[in-house]
């Protein structure tokens, strides 16, 4: 029996495919969509459209981030609102109060989100499972309560975001729209690249079994921390966009736990553990809000019913349905060993039933 | 310590509350040797592997590997310096394919990324006979294949020392000889093996030295046949005399 | 003496937290079900009590005779229909289902009872107290809450630890399929657990309704305290939940005595500090929380 | 009359058929060993008898009545107990609590905490330890004890000796006759064929979901078994 | 292809009224439609502020259906588009932007606490659309949006309501009727109202010989007020004031009773605004006092519909079966002001509208609403019209009454200075048992 511990004995070169025809098509379509969306404000997008799309982009970012965290890295946080709040307050503080302007303010808000997440991780990562979930919630609550003690940030009364004062409405709306478009592209791309990198496999391994992952050389804490910080910065980014669209930041609003509930909703109705899922989920969530949002309390009741129905009847989410339970992947992150494969072994399970999908 | 000691464990102790699982355990494993561990249930064998692998920290004592003190090294880094292990109760990454499971080993602990990593993962699958299942989600594997996967992942890390915990448990007698061949192949390629097994005849047919643990202490250590003949070992572990020839014959 | 008073009042508050958290502890700690509808369900019970007092003239505390069975029945139905199915799906399913449930309940209650604040009237009892020292007075109603909280937790703890059904509940939460192999009907046992949890939530709801005023959304205020009490005590341990409630209560009042703006903040910090040193809480009973 | 009759059952996991028309019959007090290579369908067979899997064709009769559609928890009171593959302990409960859960639907009989501890002294020392922390072998022993606690008429043991020290394996096999002597019927899946042959009244060998060999240990030769194992 | 999505969002909220207006439009052959957007909290924790809005909106829809608005001499249909802010400031701001950019409204209105009003106004400012708001004291409205600059001037957004200076005057007038040691304790939450009340009241009291002291602001949802009670007891505060949310006040007040803190007067904003929250106090609500923005005895009529406060409250009680509440007057007044602005400016042009608003005066059901571009910051500034406020005390209603409590006017001094002579119902009483 040959022992192939040195690389590539027996002359085999394993052929591994990481993308599929669908994913190439998907990439092309994504580029076309993004480019036309970027051009939109000059041609076919009204102010209202741009505003609506901005909201949608915020939801996509939030969904993508929570999915990275819970769906891939296995950290079920219900405290992501902390970073939405930090992003929102961060940009107001840096842009308005420190007077650094929009762009530096935006960058600084992201940096602050990242730093806070990094520091918080030393406490949060001591916890796991239910302890982690509630712990993150309480951490978010602490950040919220601390914010309400800071007078420069308007304390409990909140603060208006004034960096856009003097902009014409159509300019401001378009600028915010472009920022949001860029943000959503960056958020999805960073997540995707992260998951395609070696770390992506590490995330899933850690989620499935942290101890086993560690014995295979995965630095569990480090890979968790990377996902955590990235997700926090993503939520911070969404927070800055929120401040840019609502122009008024109030602690009770940006720090509320419903944000996380919405993220969970988006991820689960779209399909957890896929890049596509949260995008679909965000579109659905947005559409619900937009088209039945005006029926007042019924909107919320319907939202609740849909949440329950989706979980019970479509546990893999809409993307699971569309993709035929994962056969279609526009953003593949896995490793498909395509050759050389021997014919199924005699007493082993003929694996035809699992299907060599893709 | 002589040059050829790959692993040397000194005065290792570990208690869980009042439960003593390792008490002043001291032994060496030579480079390239096959080292067997037996002992009654709950003797502390798996715990010992956990201590060596860095899954848990000892209360006292030290562990050296390749001349380097690794007592404080984290599990992930021990994997990187060349310690691989399999778990008694297999712990596959259920949402990944078999190939991806193994690639985690080759790319992280093995440090071989990209094509090199694929090739090494491929080789490990081939060695363990899992190639036909490479694309199967690991969660769907049955027991034997899960055990094979444990081995394949460990192999893919390119280890100097491999710690096996009851890798033959649950295999039928017909399935054991191929496994033994695999392990012999490992040894031949220069890997050091520490192997816990209750299927004594399989173990004894491979290992150079055997250690028997009981209640966290070393009861006997030395030539496998001698250890198996020691009255204490017979009393606490075997129950009756062990017929080595019978074991070999089957 | 102010400090002593703060501690005493904190303990009493802890009684309420523990009472609120008991049902949650059963569902979260034992069934691993993160019930985000817990607060909303307490308010359902509060409205039920309110309606009973308004329309039948039943004395406030007597409403529990009706509220307990009704909430228990609701729990049974919820578990047998929605929650059991959710538990069979992916791990995140129960969170989303109970979130959906909370949203539905809140808004249906809003529709049914309007946004007006209500309260269950107990007349003079509301302001009654027992003077211990010139500075320390113990409110009679908080004291009743405290005693009920302790009794409920003690009873539940004994039930889980000592009875066959209690054991079956824990076994089911560990491994449902293995439990069926022991002859345990897991659907029934979970329905029973949720029925008990909601019966306790029912009692807690009545006490909230008496303590202060509520409307459809008031439940959310209490949710985090209840979760904190469960976690700080350690998943699966009812005594832990009681201790957790007390710690939070005292941290809140003593914290507020120190910094009146930050009682809740300090309680949260105490919670985090304890978890930093005991990452699985004070008395964890559940593996892989 | 046979206590358990399995009549040409088919069992599927999704689209995959694990069992093709297997039949068997066990009399009261008899011990049947089921052997076969990995993946032969042994565990699936036991799961089907215990109710965790449903046959898509054929019938399972216990004491003359069909139980094929009965959920597992309703089979326990009839006296069917399974020690599942992989032990399936309740990790957050102690060893003793695990045993007590086994007695949830207990029938009258010789097995109780005392007698289980007497049979597995190993467990007696560790009764208050969390199952999660117990060693592999301790868990295995507890899993067997737990199944005994309900005083089953039919005991289904999947991979009994897995992970147990030889001395414990000896103990278990030594106690099997006592168990059957009380009228308990045992269906045992065992990797260690020699052991299985020693205690079984009859042996049934499966290969890829089908019965390929049946007989009493005395009738069967090693070669027959070896052939049956891999179908070579 | 702009407003393709417009139609969907307007419809659902009040379909009956919409069909009414459709039938009316056939006969009148209107020159066009003017769209008014309205944002208020109809669900969520602030819902008590928004819950009576449906009544007023339906009332206005009925009115406009029968009486198209005359703008530039031509009749216009009025389309009222309502959005629920879900008690969330981000939602409120988004709703306003939505009304402007998707629904194409001509003017936005909002009511109910600074949490809702401020983000709506900010959104209108940024989207260059006229905005009229009320039901929030003017100080948090101005200061909260200007990072504390009292002289801030806004281009598109106008507000009318009373201010905290008048509150201090009114409260002092109530307390002067009750013998006390003139020491006042403040129960202020850390929210926009609490911030504004605690920052702006102390000076007003000092002038009148009262000293207000208060512990640091507590967060909403506080479950135990022992620290605050200890504080008030230690200060020997015989008067209590504050602006807690209703459940927090109930928690506080019951605990205060239990722990033996019995002030002679308790004059509380917000928590005692709604009859239901006073009812919920049981008998402990008697003789608690509060500011009164509006009351059935207000000597005013609607400039639009001619309805009087008494009639309007009666209509509300008849249609909803609930006791009248103060926000209905102020929401009605929003429509009066908007209608007046539209008619006066003679067009729906946004720039023209704000120009009109800057000097507009309307005699509304809540009193005179008059903006003055030359008004200075401390008086509300150019974007604020200050309206009168009185003081009232909740009294257990006589046996056989329909409701448990009734709100009796006990102070009108400040309103009188603002030119509104409100009849006083009774003298203020000390709280029983104090
Ligand atoms: N976390 C823990 N807390 C308490 N006791 C523990 C813990 N982990 C292990 N033990 C106990 O330590 C002893 C040694 O366990 P270990 O798993 O090392 O045994 P082993 O020798 O591998 O046994 P087996 O052959 O049955 O697998 C056992 O008795 C076990 O119950
Ligand atoms: N849950 C499952 N889903 C899909 N296929 C399964 C499942 N469980 C078992 N199988 C398949 O059914 C076949 C029979 O499995 P079974 O576990 O009954 O075999 P076994 O004889 O008990 O093998 P082992 O010795 O490995 O325990 C195998 O091919 C296995 O892969
Ligand atoms: Mg072991
Ligand atoms: Mg099996």
Instruction: Decide if A294 touches B, using CB distance below 8 A.
Output: no
Tell me the whole-structure pTM to 2 decimals: 0.89
Residue D29's CB is within 10 A of a number of other CB atoms, namely: 16
Ligand 1 atom closest to residue B49's alpha carbon, by position in its atom list: 18
For residues B34 and B135, membership in a common domain is answered with: no
pLDDT at B51: 93
Determine the 3-state secondary structure of E359 from DSSP. coil
**Helices E89-101, A220-246: crossing angle, 10 deg rounding:** 50
Nearest alpha-carbon partner for C196 in C156, C154, C168: C156
Residues belonging to chain D with any Cβ–Cβ distance to chain C shorter than 8 Å: 50-52, 71-77, 81-82, 84, 88-93, 97-98, 100-102, 104-105, 130, 132, 146, 150
**Helices A258-270, A81-91: crossing angle, 10 deg rounding:** 120
Nearest alpha-carbon partner for B179 in B157, B158, B159, B201: B201
Task: Indicate the average pLDDT of chain A.
Answer: 85
Convert A309-333 to b/e letters by CB count within 10 Å (16 or more is b): ebbbebbbbbbbebbeebebbbbbb
d(CA B123, CA B130): 10
Residue nearest to atom 4 of ligand 2 (CA): D13
For residues B2 and B73, membership in a common domain is answered with: yes
Nearest alpha-carbon partner for B50 in A219, D133, D166: D133
Closest CA in chain E for residue C143:
E258
Out of A157-166, D59-68, E73-82, least confident range: A157-166
User: Tokens at residue E190, please?
Assistant: 């850390």
Cβ–Cβ < 8 Å for C285, A130: no
Task: Indicate the average pLDDT of chain C.
Answer: 90
Higher-confidence residue: B106 or A339? B106
For residues B40 and B130, membership in a common domain is answered with: no
Determine the 3-state secondary structure of E290 from DSSP. strand
Proportion of chain B above pLDDT 70, given as a percent:
94
Is residue D34 pLDDT above 50, yes or no?
yes
Phi and psi at residue E315, to the nearest 5°: -60, -40
Residue nearest to atom 17 of ligand 2 (CA): D43
In a domain, B31, yes or no: yes
Strand order from edge to edge, sheet including B68-69: B19-30, B5-16, B60-65, B68-69
Give the Cα-Cα-Cα angle D157, D158, D162 (nearest 5 degrees): 110
Q: Which of A157, A165, A290 lies closest to E192 in CB terms? A: A157
Task: Indicate the average pLDDT of chain D.
Answer: 89
Length in residues, chain A: 358
Proportion of chain C above pLDDT 90, given as a percent:
57
Residues of C in contact with D75 (CB under 8 A): 183
CB contact under 8 A, B250 and D141: no
User: How many structural domains does chain D have?
Assistant: 1
pLDDT at C101: 92
In a domain, D28, yes or no: yes
pLDDT at E8: 34
**Bridge partners, residue E211, by sequence:** E183
User: Tokens at residue D114, please?
Assistant: 């005392």
In a domain, B35, yes or no: yes
Who's near B151: CB < 8 A, 6+ residues apart?
B86, B128, B164, B167, B182
Q: Which of A347, A348, A353 lies closest to D230 in CB terms? A: A347
Q: What is the dihedral of CA E378, E381, E385, E388, to 10 degrees?
A: 0
d(CA D94, CA D102): 12
For residues B52 and B167, membership in a common domain is answered with: yes
Tell whether ligand 2 has an atom less than 6 A from the beta carbon of residue B144: yes
Q: What is the CATH number of the domain that holds D63?
A: 3.40.50.300
Residue A151's CB is within 10 A of a number of other CB atoms, namely: 11
User: Tokens at residue E337, please?
Assistant: 């002001």
- For β-strands D210-215 and A159-160, DSSP reports them as unpaired
Mutation probe of ligand 2 site: the residue of D34, D40, D189, D228 with most atoms within 8 A of C-beta: D40
Is residue C288 pLDDT above 80, yes or no?
no
For residues B39 and B54, membership in a common domain is answered with: yes
In a domain, B129, yes or no: yes
Residue D188: its H or E element: strand D185-189
d(CA E14, CA D230): 76
Is residue A108 pLDDT above 60, yes or no?
yes
Q: What is the per-residue DSSP string for B171-231?
A: --TTTHHHHHHHHHHHHHTT-EEEEE-S-HHHHHTT-SEEEEEETTEEEEEE-HHHHHH-H
Closest CA in chain C for residue A308:
C97
Out of A5-19, B56-70, B174-188, least confident range: A5-19
pLDDT at E121: 94
In a domain, B186, yes or no: no
Q: What is the CATH number of the domain that holds B52?
A: 3.40.50.300
Residue E362: its H or E element: strand E361-364
Q: Which of B113, B135, B158 is the last residue of a domain?
A: B158
In a domain, B179, yes or no: no
- Quickly tell me which residue has 């310690």 as its tokens: B83
d(CA A195, CA A331): 10
pLDDT at E176: 93
CA A88, distance to chain mean position in Å, is 17
Instruction: Decide if A353 touches D, using CB distance below 8 A.
Output: yes
d(CA D111, CA C288): 31
Cβ–Cβ < 8 Å for E156, E349: no
Cβ–Cβ < 8 Å for E272, E394: yes
In a domain, B151, yes or no: yes
Domains and CATH numbers, chain C: 2-120+136-277 (1.10.3470)
Proportion of chain C above pLDDT 70, given as a percent:
99
Tell whether ligand 2 has an atom less than 6 A from the beta carbon of residue D181: no
For residues B211 and B154, membership in a common domain is answered with: no
User: Tokens at residue D109, please?
Assistant: 């009989």
In a domain, D164, yes or no: yes
Is residue B247 pLDDT above 50, yes or no?
no
Is residue A249 pLDDT above 50, yes or no?
yes
pLDDT at E3: 31
d(CA E355, CA C86): 58
pLDDT at A12: 62
- Quickly tell me which residue has 């929210």 as its tokens: E191
In a domain, D165, yes or no: yes
User: Tokens at residue A193, please?
Assistant: 């690249």
pLDDT at B3: 53
Residue nearest to atom 14 of ligand 2 (CA): D41
Indicate the DSSP class of residue B138: G
Cα D37 to averaged position of ligand 2 atoms, centre (Å): 11
CA A99, distance to chain mean position in Å, is 30
CB contact under 8 A, C183 and D132: no
Higher-confidence residue: D231 or E8? D231
- Quickly tell me which residue has 């926009």 as its tokens: E192
For residues B78 and B165, membership in a common domain is answered with: yes
State the distance between the two ends of chain A, measured CA to CA, in whole angstroms.
Answer: 32
pLDDT confidence of A6, banded at 50, 70, 90?
very low
Out of C280-284, D35-39, D220-224, E223-227, least confident range: D220-224
d(CA A59, CA A286): 8
Is residue B243 pLDDT above 60, yes or no?
no
For residues B1 and B71, membership in a common domain is answered with: yes
For residues B78 and B55, membership in a common domain is answered with: yes
Instruction: Decide if E147 touches A, using CB distance below 8 A.
Output: yes
pLDDT at B242: 53
- Residue range(s) defining the domain that contains residue B67: 1-82+161-172+193-250
C93-102, pLDDT tens digit by residue?
A: 888 888 899 9
Is residue B235 pLDDT above 60, yes or no?
yes
In a domain, B93, yes or no: yes
User: Tokens at residue E93, please?
Assistant: 């701001």
Proportion of chain B above pLDDT 90, given as a percent:
40
d(CA D40, CA E271): 73
Q: Which of A76, A126, A145 lies closest to C279 in CB terms? A: A126
For residues B48 and B166, membership in a common domain is answered with: yes
Is residue D97 pLDDT above 60, yes or no?
yes
Proportion of chain A above pLDDT 70, given as a percent:
89
Residues of B in contact with D47 (CB under 8 A): none
- Residue range(s) defining the domain that contains residue D179: 2-88+153-230
- The top-scoring range by mean pLDDT among A341-345, C9-13, E19-23 is C9-13
d(CA B170, CA B176): 10
Cβ–Cβ < 8 Å for E187, C223: no
User: Tokens at residue E348, please?
Assistant: 């729906």
Cis check: omega of the bond before D138, within 30 degrees of 0: no
Nearest alpha-carbon partner for A172 in E90, E107, E4, E101: E101
pLDDT confidence of C125, banded at 50, 70, 90?
confident
User: How many structural domains does chain B have?
Assistant: 2
In a domain, B180, yes or no: no
Convert E17-43 to b/e letters by CB count within 10 Å (16 or more is b): bbebbeebbeeeebeeebbbbbbbbbb
Q: Mutation test of the interface with chain D: which of B14, B20, B22, B41, choosing the one with the most D Cβ atoms within 10 A?
A: B41
Cβ–Cβ < 8 Å for C38, C200: no
Average pLDDT over residues C157-184: 91
d(CA D177, CA D31): 9
Instruction: Decide if A320 touches B, using CB distance below 8 A.
Output: no
Who's near B182: CB < 8 A, 6+ residues apart?
A1, B127, B128, B151
Residue E81: its H or E element: strand E74-84
Who's near E402: CB < 8 A, 6+ residues apart?
E323
What Rg value do the Cα atoms of chain B yield, rounded? 18
d(CA E422, CA E428): 15
pLDDT at E202: 76
Cα E433 to averaged position of ligand 2 atoms, centre (Å): 79
Indicate the DSSP class of residue A166: T
Instruction: Please state, in angstroms and as integers, the Cα–Cα distance from residue A166 to each residue in A249, E102, E118, E128, E155, following that order.
Output: 19, 22, 18, 10, 11
For residues B215 and B132, membership in a common domain is answered with: no
pLDDT tens-digit profile, chain E (434 residues): 233 323 333 333 333 444 444 444 444 567 789 999 999 998 888 888 888 999 999 999 999 999 999 888 889 999 999 998 888 888 899 999 999 999 999 999 999 888 899 999 999 999 999 999 999 999 989 988 887 888 889 999 999 999 988 999 999 999 999 999 999 999 999 988 898 888 877 777 888 899 999 999 999 889 899 999 999 999 999 999 999 998 899 999 999 998 889 999 999 998 999 998 898 888 888 999 999 999 999 999 999 999 999 999 999 999 999 999 999 999 999 999 999 999 998 888 999 999 999 999 999 999 999 999 998 878 888 999 999 999 999 999 988 888 999 999 999 999 998 888 999 989 999 998 76
Write the ipTM.
0.88
Length in residues, chain B: 250
Nearest alpha-carbon partner for A76 in A220, A228, A270: A228
For residues B250 and B165, membership in a common domain is answered with: yes
């Amino acid at each position: 029996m040959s022992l192939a511990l040195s690389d590539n004995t027996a002359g085999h070169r394993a052929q591994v495919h990481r993308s599929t025809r669908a994913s190439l098509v998907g990439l092309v379509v994504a580029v076309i969509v993004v480019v036309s969306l970027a051009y939109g404000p000059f041609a076919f997008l009204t102010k209202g459209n741009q505003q609506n799309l901005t909201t949608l982009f915020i939801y996509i970012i939030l969904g993508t981030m929570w999915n990275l965290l819970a769906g891939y890295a296995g950290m079920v946080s219900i405290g992501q609102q902390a970073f939405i709040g930090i992003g929102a307050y961060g940009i107001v503080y840096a842009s308005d109060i420190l007077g650094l302007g929009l762009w530096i303010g935006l960058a600084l808000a992201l940096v602050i989100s990242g730093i806070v997440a990094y520091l918080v991780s030393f406490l949060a990562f001591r916890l796991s499972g239910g302890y982690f979930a509630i712990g993150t919630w309480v951490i978010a609550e602490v950040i919220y309560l601390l914010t309400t003690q800071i007078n420069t940030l308007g304390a409990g009364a909140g603060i208006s975001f004034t960096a856009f004062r003097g902009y014409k409405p159509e300019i401001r709306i378009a600028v915010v729209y472009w920022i949001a478009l860029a943000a959503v592209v960056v958020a999805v791309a960073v997540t995707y690249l992260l998951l395609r990198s070696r770390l992506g496999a590490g995330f899933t391994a850690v989620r499935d079994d942290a101890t086993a992952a560690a014995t295979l050389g995965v630095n569990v804490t480090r890979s968790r921390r990377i996902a955590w910080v990235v997700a926090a910065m993503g939520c911070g980014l969404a927070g800055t966009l929120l401040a840019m669209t609502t122009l008024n930041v109030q602690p009770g609003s940006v720090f509320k736990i419903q944000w996380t509930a919405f993220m969970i909703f988006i991820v689960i109705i779209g399909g957890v553990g896929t890049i596509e899922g949260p995008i679909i989920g965000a579109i659905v969530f947005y559409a619900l809000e937009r088209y039945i949002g005006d029926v007042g309390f019924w909107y919320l009741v319907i939202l609740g019913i849909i949440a329950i129905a989706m979980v019970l009847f479509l546990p893999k989410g809409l993307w699971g349905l569309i993709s035929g339970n994962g056969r279609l992947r526009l953003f593949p992150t896995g490793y498909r060993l395509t050759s050389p494969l021997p014919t199924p072994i005699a007493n082993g399970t003929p694996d035809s039933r699992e299907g060599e999908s893709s | 310590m002589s040059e050829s000691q790959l692993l040397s464990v000194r005065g290792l102790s570990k208690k869980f509350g009042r439960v003593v699982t390792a008490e002043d355990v001291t032994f060496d494993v030579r480079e390239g040797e096959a080292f067997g561990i037996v002992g009654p249930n709950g003797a502390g064998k798996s715990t010992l592997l956990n201590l060596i692998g860095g899954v848990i920290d000892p209360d006292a004592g030290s562990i050296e590997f390749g001349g380097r003190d690794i007592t404080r090294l984290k599990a992930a880094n021990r994997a990187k310096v060349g310690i691989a292990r399999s778990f008694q109760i297999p712990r596959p990454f259920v949402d990944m394919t078999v190939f991806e499971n193994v690639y985690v080993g080759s790319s992280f602990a093995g440090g071989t990324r990209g094509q090199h990593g694929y090739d090494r993962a491929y080789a490990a699958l081939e060695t363990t006979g899992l190639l036909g299942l490479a694309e199967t989600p690991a969660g769907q594997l049955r027991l034997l294949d899960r055990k094979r996967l444990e081995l394949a992942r460990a192999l893919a890390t390119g280890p100097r020392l491999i710690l096996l915990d009851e890798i033959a448990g649950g295999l039928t007698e017909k399935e054991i000889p191929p496994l033994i061949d695999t392990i012999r192949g490992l040894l031949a390629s220069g890997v050091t093996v520490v192997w816990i097994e209750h299927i004594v005849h399989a173990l004894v047919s491979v290992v150079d030295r055997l250690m028997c643990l009981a209640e966290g202490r070393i009861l006997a250590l030395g030539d496998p046949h001698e250890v198996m003949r020691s009255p204490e070992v017979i009393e606490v572990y075997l129950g009756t005399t062990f017929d080595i020839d019978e074991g070999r014959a089957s | 003496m102010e400090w002593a008073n703060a501690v005493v009042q904190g303990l009493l508050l802890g009684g309420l937290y523990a009472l609120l958290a008991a049902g949650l502890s059963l569902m979260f700690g034992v069934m691993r079900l993160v019930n985000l509808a817990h607060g909303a369900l307490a308010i359902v019970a509060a409205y039920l009590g309110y309606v009973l007092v308004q329309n039948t003239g039943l004395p406030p505390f007597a409403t529990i005779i009706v509220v307990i069975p009704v909430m228990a029945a609701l729990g049974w139905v919820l578990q047998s229909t929605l929650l059991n199915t959710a538990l069979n799906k992916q791990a995140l399913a129960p969170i989303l289902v109970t979130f959906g449930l909370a949203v539905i309940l809140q808004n249906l209650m809003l529709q049914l009872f309007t946004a007006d604040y209500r309260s269950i009237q107990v007349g003079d009892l509301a302001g009654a107290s027992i003077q211990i020292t010139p500075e320390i007075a113990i409110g009679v109603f908080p004291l009743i809450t405290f005693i009920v909280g302790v009794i409920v937790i003690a009873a539940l703890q004994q039930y889980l630890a000592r009875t066959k059904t209690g054991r079956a509940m824990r076994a089911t939460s560990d491994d449902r399929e293995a439990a069926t192999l022991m002859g345990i009907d897991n659907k029934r046992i979970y329905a029973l657990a949720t029925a008990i949890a909601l019966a306790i939530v029912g009692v807690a709801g009545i006490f909230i309704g008496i303590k202060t005023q509520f409307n459809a959304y008031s439940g959310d205020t209490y949710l985090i305290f209840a979760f904190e009490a469960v976690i700080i005590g350690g998943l699966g341990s009812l005594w832990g939940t009681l201790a957790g409630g007390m710690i939070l209560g005292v941290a809140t009042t003593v914290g507020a005595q120190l910094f009146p703006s930050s009682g809740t903040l300090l309680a949260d910090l105490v919670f985090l500090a304890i978890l930093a040193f005991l990452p699985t809480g004070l008395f964890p009973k559940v593996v892989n929380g | 009359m046979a206590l358990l009759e399995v009549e040409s059952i088919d069992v599927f996991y999704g689209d995959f058929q694990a069992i093709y028309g297997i039949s068997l019959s066990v009399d009261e007090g008899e011990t049947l060993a089921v052997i076969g290579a990995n993946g032969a369908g042994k565990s699936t067979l036991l799961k089907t008898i215990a109710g965790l899997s449903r046959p898509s064709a054929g019938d399972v009769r216990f004491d003359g009545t069909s139980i094929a559609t009965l959920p597992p928890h309703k089979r326990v009171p009839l006296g069917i107990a399974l020690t599942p593959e992989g032990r399936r302990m309740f990790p957050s409960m102690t060893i003793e609590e695990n045993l007590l859960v086994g007695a949830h639907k207990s029938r009258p009989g010789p097995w109780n905490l005392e007698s289980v501890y007497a049979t597995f002294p190993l467990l007696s020392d560790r009764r208050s330890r969390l199952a999660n922390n117990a060693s592999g072998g301790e868990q295995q022993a507890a899993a067997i004890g737990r199944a005994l606690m309900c005083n089953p008429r039919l005991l289904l043991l999947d991979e009994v000796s897995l992970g147990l020290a030889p001395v414990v394996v000896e103990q278990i096999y030594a106690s099997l006759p006592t168990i059957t002597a009380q009228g308990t019927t045992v269906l045992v899946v065992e990797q260690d064929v020699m052991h299985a042959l020693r205690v079984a009244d009859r042996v049934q060998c499966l290969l890829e979901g089908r019965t390929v060999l049946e007989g009493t240990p005395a009738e069967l030769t090693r070669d027959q078994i070896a052939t049956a194992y891999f179908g070579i | 292809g702009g407003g393709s999505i417009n139609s969907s969002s307007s419809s659902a909220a009040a379909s009956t009224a919409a069909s009414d207006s459709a039938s009316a439009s056939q006969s009148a052959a209107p020159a066009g439609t003017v769209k008014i957007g309205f944002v208020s909290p109809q669900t969520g924790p602030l819902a008590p502020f928004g819950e009576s809005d449906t009544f007023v909106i339906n009332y206005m829809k009925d009115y406009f259906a029968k009486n198209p608005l005359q703008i530039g001499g031509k009749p216009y249909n009025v389309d009222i588009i309502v959005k629920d802010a879900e008690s969330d400031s981000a939602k409120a701001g988004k709703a306003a932007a939505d009304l402007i950019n998707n629904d194409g409204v001509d003017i936005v209105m909002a009511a109910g606490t600074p949490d809702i009003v401020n983000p709506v106004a900010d959104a209108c400012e940024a989207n260059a659309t006229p905005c009229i708001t009320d039901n929030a004291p003017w100080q948090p409205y101005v200061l909260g949006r200007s990072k504390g600059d009292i002289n801030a001037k806004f281009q598109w957004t106008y507000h009318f309501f009373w201010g905290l200076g008048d509150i201090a005057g009114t409260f002092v007038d109530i307390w002067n009727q009750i013998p006390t040691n003139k020491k006042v304790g403040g129960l202020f939450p850390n929210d926009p109202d609490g911030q504004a009340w605690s920052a702006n009241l102390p000076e007003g009291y000092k002038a009148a010989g009262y000293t207000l002291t208060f512990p640091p602001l507590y967060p909403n949802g506080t479950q135990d007020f022992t620290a605050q009670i200890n504080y008030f007891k230690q200060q020997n505060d015989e008067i209590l004031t504050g602006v807690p949310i209703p459940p927090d006040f109930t928690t506080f007040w019951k605990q205060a009773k239990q722990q033996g803190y019995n002030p002679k007067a308790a004059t509380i904003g917000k928590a005692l605004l709604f009859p239901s929250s006073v009812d919920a106090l049981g008998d402990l609500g008697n003789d608690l006092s509060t500011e009164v923005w509006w009351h059935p005895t207000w000597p005013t009529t609607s400039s639009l519909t001619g309805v009087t406060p008494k009639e309007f409250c009666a209509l509300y009680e008849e249609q909803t079966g609930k006791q009248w509440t103060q926000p209905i007057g102020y929401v009605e007044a929003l429509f009066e002001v908007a209608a007046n602005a539209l008619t006066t400016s003679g067009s729906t042009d946004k720039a023209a509208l704000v120009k009109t608003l800057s000097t507009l005066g309307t005699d509304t059901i809540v009193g005179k609403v008059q903006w003055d571009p030359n008004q200075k910051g401390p008086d509300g500034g150019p974007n604020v019209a200050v309206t009168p406020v009185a003081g009232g005390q909740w009294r257990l209603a006589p046996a056989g009454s329909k409701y448990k409590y009734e709100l009796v006017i006990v102070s009108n001094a400040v309103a009188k200075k603002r030119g509104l002579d409100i009849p006083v119902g009774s003298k203020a009483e000390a709280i029983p048992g104090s």
